[in-house]
Amino acid sequence: MKSSALLIGNPAAGSFTEKTLAGIIEILRQRYGKVEVQLTEKRGDAKEIAINELSRFNTFIAFGGDGTFNEVANALAFSDKMTAFIPGGTTNVLAYEFNLPPHDPLRAAKKILTGTPQSITLGKAGSRYFVSMAGIGFDAETVCRVSPLLKKISGKGAHIIAGLMTLAGYRPERLEITVDGRKYHAFGLIVSNGRCYAGPYHACPSADIRKDSLEILIQTKPGRIALVRTITGVIRKSPDKGGGSIIVTGRKVSIGGRAPIQVDGEFIGFTPVEITVHPEALRVRY
């Protein structure tokens, strides 16, 4: 049905309300006519819903956080379906990447109406695609500490609190990584498909979701001081200037050793893992 769209909403997202949902539907009807809504109940539902409805809809719109959109992206990768993102989560990194209002779902919905369809690159960590980035080490441990309760109580501050808790006792193992045949030692890394990280900040300022390569921020020195310098650099959008990290470009990243992994803000397991780049993998209107 070319004139209709499926809106997949996450009621647990910070900006989700029935009133906001009704407003989004009213706006989207200007383009799509009929808008059907299905809501998630648990992690994994967004992907399952999208897969189950592939034959009925050509457009899938995710209303929730980065994790909700990640699930929809994993369902639609390398299909001819169109997708779009209405940010409703806590951090909404992809809103900054797509130049959408990060905390105003109704304005974001209006912008989608005039957005341009584009094909973007996806990264892939093991069997899981990611839109923005994959983090190995410190930020993945931080993600594990950001519980739904902490998000509810602290909102945007949840990641800061979780980060401080992680930093206090952080003891990273050394990782052996290979980027397109080049070998490095690392104590953590961020593999960026997009430029934005943790909101408007930049882990890899040269990353671009339309490129056919990934940018990799490698934490080359151990210890909390080096890590704090890198974090400060990310906030200042020049993360490799503190002396504790480097940025390299590549298409295939192999990581040995044991460290937690997160993609688009969702914990997915532990290394070892292989990360690859997949150009023109997803059609997005933004």
Domains of the chain: which residue ranges?
4-115, 128-280
pLDDT tens for residues 232-282? 888 888 876 666 899 999 999 999 999 999 999 999 999 999 999 999 999
pLDDT tens for residues 259-272? 999 999 999 999 99
What architecture is domain 128-280? Answer: Sandwich (2.60)
Q: Where does 4-115 sit in CATH, by number?
A: 3.40.50.10330
Residue 163's pLDDT band (cuts 50, 70, 90): low
Q: What are phi and psi of 147, to 5 degrees?
A: -80, 160
Calculate ∠ Cα 101-106-107, nearest 5°: 40
CA distance 105 to 22: 11
pLDDT greater than 80 at residue 188: yes
HEC string for 115-148: CCEEEEEEEEECCEEECCEEEECHHHHHHHHCCH
**What is the model's pTM?**
0.92
pLDDT tens for residues 72-104? 999 999 999 999 999 999 889 999 999 999 999
CA distance 60 to 55: 12
